[in-house]
Structures are given as structure tokens and as C-alpha cells.
Amino acid sequence: MDIASLREGLASALGGWLATDANNRLGLTTVVFVIYYASCNAYWIFKARGNSPLRKLRRIAGLDAIDEAIGRCTEMGRPVLYNLGMDGLSSSTFASLAILSYVAIRVVRYDTRMITVTRYASVLPVAENTVRQSYVEGGKPDGFRIEDVRFLTSDQFGFASGILGITVRESVAANLMFGYYYAESLIFAEAGFESGAIQIAGTNNNSQTPFFIPACDYCLLGEELFAASAYLSKDRIRTATLVAQDLGKLFIAVLMGLGVIFTTFGSNVIQNLMTLF
Amino acid sequence: MRRTLPVALTFIVGVTAMINTYFVNPSLAAFCTRYLARTSTVSSAWAVGLGTLNLMRIHIRRINRRQDNWQYSVSLVVTYVIFLFLGVFLVGHQNNHFFQAFFNSIQPHLSSTMFSVLCFYIASAAFRAFRMRSMEATMMLLSAFIIMLGNVPIGAAIFPPMPQISDWIMNQINTSSLRAMSIGLSMGGIAQTMRNLVGIERGHLAAE
């Protein structure tokens, strides 16, 4: 049986209840990957609940520097500026919120001021809650200032000019930028550089990473943004999800390797598996 | 309860949306379109109200206390009140000719001004990035030099294969590195979503 007839057979058997995309693909490859990935997560989370050792996380200089940045703000008596990025409640914003939670706890401990800014109003209550929670956990619930968690505007360059103004007027000593950024990323980073702030950035937009690298002191690369919560909290369950993430990447790498080998020898089996189903 | 309920809701809604993506079920699809999408729209509308209150509270307090640069806050509050009045009370609301004319003669120009500032920032950032401080920085400088020359006519005039070398760097080295990063980012995004879905990530939720 060739691949095309196998596909037709599967489509007639599963087509009734499995959704197809615009190209009439069944999305089976994605379903198989989701099952594999969920199984990896379940296995490693189960393992993390016991006492068996998990893999060690390598050092991420940008995340290690967060404490140094907050310490610098404390010494100088100047605020930390925390930028949650340009996205709504997406995975990158949640990754940023996890880092915000860590930073807020440190800020409360050192009695430093932190200004948190968000572009989307829908992120504001979540950000407010994250910072407020850190003040409660730090034993200083009265120290929380609601005006230090700010929604500026949802307009891209209006938001950029707002950040520029805050950076200069408040003369921030640490500029932390984690989340999704667009063309305005360099405006934030250069404003921070000019105000003499220590700058740490991380984005899941690959096209903006090259702007952060020259302008910031530390820059998280690629998925380091998503590894931050596990790295900072040292929580075993979160670390387990990182191990599962690596296994997911291994799956893709093996598939790519097989694709290269098969295609080199004139077979389109892997390519068909990825595109036909 | 203050943590368990949001986590349970996130899980139910997330799994429902996932099932709706992969499987055909007309009643589930109708439920997602009619209720989940509407709930998202309504909660976003409430969030805009909250955001506006936050903005006004900060700036009105700044004006009352005559804090540094309080004049900027006055301009923000006045502009806000004018646009609110025009948008709510004029016939046609935000589609009213006067509202549109007022908005279009202010906002796009301010936005374009901010965007144009970027070219100066790119120049100053490039100046810092392209210094030969290390082996990596030197390699980046050389690559940038080749790619810049490859994209202007004088590059091909000086050395004819320059555009091909530039394309090779962009298509082979740059694209493969970016794709590797993209795969990692996608996996990271899925992992983050999964942590939220099953309630492992709870820092943004209130205490029990």
C-alpha cells in the first residue's frame, strides 16, 4: 500500500470526527506529537513528585543577573522598570508574569520601588495581582502601590513613548523587558541605556532579539524566556516540564535527521508523513 | 478556592478549545464560538474599563499632588475627556466625521514620529554592536559588512560575487540558526501553555 492510498483510507475512516485544515490535512502528525509530548510531561512530572534526581539546569546569565540589577537599584535608591511586553495574555506574557513574580518578591525584600507597565488592559489585573501577592507574601501588604502597576495605552508607539518618558523621568536603574516585542524594542532598550540602567531582556520574537543583544547588558536567547520560571523557582515540577520540552525537541531533531537521510537517498516517506496527514 | 477555581476554569476551557481544534463536533464548535469567544470579548471590554480607571487614577492623583511634570498629566486627562465626549455624544460615535478628523490629525502623526526616532536608535545601537571587542563581535562585524555591501550596487561593482556571498550568509547560516531558535521557542511556548493549563504556573493567582 502506498502512502497516498493509506492517506485516503485514513481520511475516510477518521475524516468524520478528525478536523481537517485548509489543505484537507487531518493534522494526525500534530495529534501524535501532542500525545507524545503530553506523555513525556506526565512521566517526568510523576518522576518529579518522587525523590529521584532530575536533570541539572545549565546557568542562564541573564536570569542570574536579575538579583544584581535589583541590588543596584536598592543601592542607588532608584526604581526598577518591569516591562511585560507587547502581547495580551499569551504564553510569553505568562512567562514574563512568572519572572515578575520572582522580581516582585525580591523588590519587596529589599524595599525597592518597581514600576510595572503593560500594553494591554487585560494583562493589568493579572499583573496587579502578581505584584500585590508578592507584597502579601513578603509581609508588607501596605507597601503595595497600585499606581506602580500601570496600563499606558494599547497603541504601539504611544506605549513606546510612555515607556521612554517613565525611563527618563523616574531615572530607572534597572530595565527588565520580558515578553513579546515588535519594532519598538530598540526604543525601550536605548532609552534604558541612556538613563544608565542595567538592562536584561528576553523575547520570543526572533526578529527583535538582534536589537536587544547590542543594547542590553544581558539577553535571554530563544526558549530561555520560557525556562525562566523553572530556573528561578527551582521547583521540581516545573523543571520536569523543561525535561519534557527537551524530549519534544529531540523528537523533532530525530525527525529532521531522518528526513535528511531519506531525502538524500531519494525517498519522500518522512516528507509525506509530515505533509499528507 | 481563589486559586483552585481559576485553575479548574483554565483547564476546562483550554482542553475544550484544544478538542475543538482537532476534532469535528458541531455542537462543541457552536459552544466555543457562541460562548467562549463572547466571554473573551466581554472580559476584554471590562479590562479596558479597569485600565482606563488605572490610568486616570494615576494622572489625577499626580495633578492633585502637583508632582513633577504634572502638566503632562493634565494634557492626558484633557485629551481623554475630549475624545470620550466626542466618541460618546456625537452622532455616529467614533465614526463621526469630526471625531475621525480630530483623531486622524493627531494620533497617526505622533505614532509616525516615534517610529522615525528608531532610525537614530538603530544607528547608535549598531555603533556599539559593531566594535571588534571579541572574536564573535569581529565575525558579526564582517558578516554585517558583507551583507550591507551585498545589498547595494557598489558591493557588486567592487567584488561581483558579493551579492551571492551575502545571500549565502542570509539563507544558509542565518535562516538555519533562526529556525533552530524558532523550534525551541515553539516548544517553550507549548510547555508554558501546558504549565498554565494544568495549574503548575500559579504565581499570577491570588493566595488561597
Q: Count of CB contacts below 8 A, A vs B?
A: 186
- Which residue of A157, A238, A243 is the best one to mutate when testing the B interface, meaning the one whose CB has the most B CBs within 10 A? A157
Chain B residues inside the 8 Å CB shell of A127: 204
Is B139 contained in some domain? yes
pLDDT at A79 over 70: yes
Direct distance between the N- and C-terminal alpha carbons of chain A, in angstroms, rounded to an integer: 15
Q: Find the length of chain A.
A: 277
Three-state DSSP class for A215? helix
B32-57: per-residue pLDDT in tens? 888 888 888 898 889 989 899 999 99
Report pTM.
0.89
A169-201: per-residue pLDDT in tens? 999 999 999 999 998 999 999 999 999 999 999
| Beta carbons within 8 Å of B28's beta carbon, 6+ residues apart | B16, B19, B20
Q: Using CB atoms and an 8 Å cut-off, which of residues 85-104 of chain A contact chain B?
A: 91-92, 94-95, 97-98, 100-102
Is B83 contained in some domain? no
C-alpha cell at A220: 535571554
Q: Which CATH class is domain A61-233?
A: alpha beta
CB A10 within 8 Å of CB A277: yes
Considering chain A, what is the average pLDDT of its residues?
89
Q: Which residues of chain B have pLDDT under 70?
A: 206-208
Question: Smallest Cβ distance to A18: which of B23, B110, B126?
Answer: B23
Cα(B67)–Cα(A165) distance, integer angstroms: 15
Three-state DSSP class for A220? strand
Is B9 contained in some domain? no
Give B107 to chain A, closest Cα distance, Å: 9
**Whole-number pLDDT of residue B208:** 60
Cα(A32)–Cα(A26) distance, integer angstroms: 11
A195-217: per-residue pLDDT in tens? 999 999 999 999 899 889 888 99
8 Å CB contact of A223 and B184: yes
pLDDT at A1 over 60: no
8 Å CB contact of B189 and A226: yes
Query: Within 13 A of B64's CA, how many CA atoms are on the CB side?
Result: 6
Cα(A136)–Cα(A152) distance, integer angstroms: 25
A48-76: per-residue pLDDT in tens? 988 888 888 889 999 999 999 999 999 99
A11-38: per-residue pLDDT in tens? 677 666 776 666 666 677 887 888 899 8
- Predicted ipTM of the assembly: 0.86
- B184 lies in which domain range? 120-198
Question: Smallest Cβ distance to A187: which of B69, B117, B194?
Answer: B117
Chain A residues inside the 8 Å CB shell of B178: 206
Three-state DSSP class for B86? helix
The neighbouring-strand residues paired with A116 are: A82, A149
Three-state DSSP class for A58? coil
Is B80 contained in some domain? no
8 Å CB contact of A133 and B187: no
**Domain residue extents for chain A:** 61-233
Is B55 contained in some domain? no
pLDDT at A160 over 90: yes
Is B19 contained in some domain? no
C-alpha cell at B92: 455616529
Give A158 to chain B, closest Cα distance, Å: 6
How many domains would you assign to chain B?
A: 1
